Structure 1
Amino acid sequence: MKHVAIIGSAGIPAKYGGYETFVENMVEHLSEKLELTVYCTDKIYPERRSSYKGATLKYVPLSANGWQSILYDGISLARAAFNADVCLVLGVSGAIFFPVFRLISRTKIVCNTDGIEWKRAKWSGLAKAILKLSEWLAVHNAHTVISDNLVIKEFIADHYGRSSIFIPYGGDHIVVKDFDDTLFNEFGIERESYFLNISRIEPENNSQTILEAFSRVPNEKLVMIGNWEDSAYGRYLFDTYHQRPNIRMLDAMFDRQDEKNCIRANCKAYVHGHSVGGTSPALVEALTLERIPVCFDVSFNRSTCNGLGFYFQAVDDLVKIIKSFDETVDLTVLKIDMRELCKRRYSWEVVSKQYLNVFCT
């Protein structure tokens, strides 16, 4: 049985973000076929359980995010170098260690490079340079490179002359518990009557574009869930738009996941403003829930949705979509196409089999 070490996530049980959800679902589908070790940060798992759903858990006393992620991944790689057959590395933070790792270890490195992180506007010039170098090192030193989006696959081929394997994230793990209308009454909405956006509140996610568009269409409701208090930008948007009667600006709801999933499953459309990155897990989950996607028009989003749904680049574009949505959407045909796309591409069963093939080849 192959021994695979999974490196780069905060750990499991998943309670942080996309990587952690990915790892948990990989463990659920592959723990009977592989010996799995997941490296975790003890910063958010102080209980330090030794195993979970058939995977062995090992802990690193550093954060999995920020500048510490470089050392976090490096320590994880060092511990796995002589006892794993394969290291699945999520992201490129630890890629600076790949050349040395290959000199001292026969373990195969499989690297999911994630999005093109150095293109994000939030990074300083120095941070962008480090991220770009890390991406270069990852692509040129991993034995196998995984792209989570077809546009990323094309970018790696064009920019680095390196082939990669396209494997996206799954989205069919979402469990929707139904709630009575009290939940919807709490936020002044009705089932299937509102547009929904869930994201970090930052410029590259087009948070203000979305809010401004809905402020101009007062008869259509928007529910926007995000981290309003974490930045001056978020606080500015909240102060500017929260009194609009058709806009509900909710906190991130980390401790109300079941309620949030119910709100997601009952929106009439999911507005996705991300302008950078690869495959967004939140968008994949919305597709799996058969929520009509209304996306910022970049190649990553079109690729994720396979061209299905609606696309905008500016406030006026989104206003037109909102105003004409109920008259132009053929829900039956669109949802059939979305269902087929998710079955073919975004099932965890399909995704895990693709990774298993990579590990065992």
Structure 2
Amino acid sequence: MKISIIGTRGIPNHYGGFEQCAEYLALGLVKRGFEVIVYNSHNHPYQQNEWNGVQIVHCYDPEDKLGTVGQFIYDFNCIRDVRKRDCDIILQLGYTSSSVWGWLLPKKAIITTNMDGLEWKRTKYKRVIKRFLQYAESLGVKYSDYLISDSIGIQNYLLEKYKVSSTYIAYGAKTFFNNDVIALERYNLCPYEYDMLIARLEPENSIEIILDGVIGAKLNRSFLVIGNHNTSYGNYLKEKYSQCSQIKFLDGIYDIEILNNLRYYSNIYFHGHTVGGTNPSLLEAMASNSLICANDNEFNRYILREDAVYFKNSLDVSQYLDNVKYEDEKFQTMLANNKMKIRYMYDWEIIINQYMNHFIEIYNR
């Protein structure tokens, strides 16, 4: 079976969640005997046409020159190329800038789309952008033969709004074992003597609520903010908290071993995401034995259930920072339960098999 994956900036991953999904999925499918093509931006750091058995097709991507408009051009170029590839199945990861070109997708191929999260709910977008994203979402449904939801919340939403069923396949993670304090030394950190968050610095990820809670706690422990802060919102946050020396903006870190070690040795890991389905960084925190304090919403509760503490406001954050210590025996069951979930529900091998079974089923239909 010949499968193309579109909708990402490419592999190996140098960007984010969908790219990491494409990387694991492509490698896993090749090992299982599939022929796999992944589309890469022309300026992706990896410039070869093959990677560990995965075919790589580079398409022109002017996002660095044109911003968001460039994403639409890149997706158009990918779809124009995939029309020539005679694929059995095309997997779209997301719909935001590709769905407007959905009418160009090849009719002979089966189109299955991972619908991502509720992009139009993101607070950073103006009303006109939110309306477009809702329209793009409807096109993603219209031009797909099958849909994939990475959370039960998204699955229920699609059924309620569009009256369409979708296959639930979560995101994946790998249980982390290679803990090494050397990763902490470059940041002058001691095990369990700091708290942290990893996220895109955007309002809907509760960054300001969490950092207001840090200020309110009046602790001396360092608080790490990991994510690209060279944005307008990032600059706003750095200015607002410039007088708090314990808050350290570390920018984006993309070395998974360093990230896993920072998570592993943190006292509390904060997950403030409010929009979307199964968030990759949440699963990775679970896999890294992190004690998680999450925003109290249905997406996070579905994954974590009773194996986390939850915050609604900055006062909650302050109280947890003042009173919760990773070593407390009462939290060890939470940590063990979360690692069991990764091992038996969210391990990448399980997720790849679920995608494989989905492809076989829709192909046979």
Question: What is the TM-score with the length of structure 2 in the denominator?
Answer: 0.89
User: Against the structure 1 CA distance between its residues 153 and 340, is the aligned structure 2 distance closer, same or farther, given a 3 Å change threshold?
Assistant: same
Match of 2:287 in 1: 288
Aligned CA distance change for structure 1 residues 71 and 176 (closer, same or farther; 3 Å)? farther
Alignment correspondent of 1:325: 324
- Inter-partner Cα distance in structure 1 for 2:185 and 2:217: 21
Q: Which amino acid aligns with 2:27?
A: E
Q: How much has 1:245 moved relative to structure 2?
A: 4.5
Per-residue CA deviation, residues 77-110 of structure 1 (Å, 9 max, x unaligned), is 2322351000000111212232443xx5210001
Counterpart CA distance in 2 for 1:24 and 1:174 is 18
Which segment is superposed worse, 128-137 or 4-13?
A: 128-137
Q: What is the aligned counterpart of 2:134 among 132, 135, 138?
A: 132
Q: Which residue of 106, 113, 124 corresponds with 2:115?
A: 113
Residue number in structure 2 paired with 1:226 = 227
Secondary structure at the residue paired with 2:324? helix
Q: Any gaps of 5 or more consecutive residues in structure 1?
A: none
Q: Distance in 1 between matches of 2:108 and 2:274?
A: 39
Match of 2:349 in 1: 349
- Alignment pair present for 1:98 and 2:94: no
**Does the 8 A contact of 2:99 with 2:137 survive in 1?**
yes
Paired residues in the alignment total: 353
C-alpha change, 1:63 and 1:9, in structure 2 (3 Å) is farther
Percent of pairs identical after alignment?
28
Matches of 1:306 and 1:172, distance apart in 2: 20
- Aligned counterparts of 1:316 and 1:177: Cα–Cα separation in 2: 32
Q: Which residues in structure 2 correspond to 1:24-173 (within 5 Å)?
A: 24-32=23-31, 33-45=33-45, 48-63=47-62, 66-82=68-84, 83-92=86-95, 93-101=97-105, 105-172=107-174
- CA change 1:354–1:58 in 2 (3 A) is same
Structure 2: stretches of 5+ with no match in the other structure: none
TM-score w.r.t. length of structure 1 = 0.90
Give the CA deviation at 1:210: 1.0
Report the counterpart of residue 211 of structure 1 in structure 2.
Answer: 211
Q: Which residue of 2 aligns with 1:235?
A: 235
Taking the aligned partners of 2:286 and 2:192, their CA distance within structure 1 comes to: 15
Structure 1 segments of 4+ aligned residues over 4 angstroms from their partners: 173-177
Give CA-to-partner distance per residue, 1:29-64, whole Å, 9 cap, x none. Answer: 11032100011111224x631100111111110157
Describe the shift of the 1:177–1:277 C-alpha distance in structure 2 as closer, same or farther (beyond 3 A).
Answer: same
Cα RMSD, aligned residues only? 2.2
Distance 1:174 1:73, change over 3 A: farther
Q: CA–CA distance in 2 between the matches of 1:273 and 1:144?
A: 31
| Aligned counterparts of 2:177 and 2:146: Cα–Cα separation in 1 | 32
Offset at residue 336 of structure 1 (A):
2.1
Residue type matched to 1:85 in 2? D
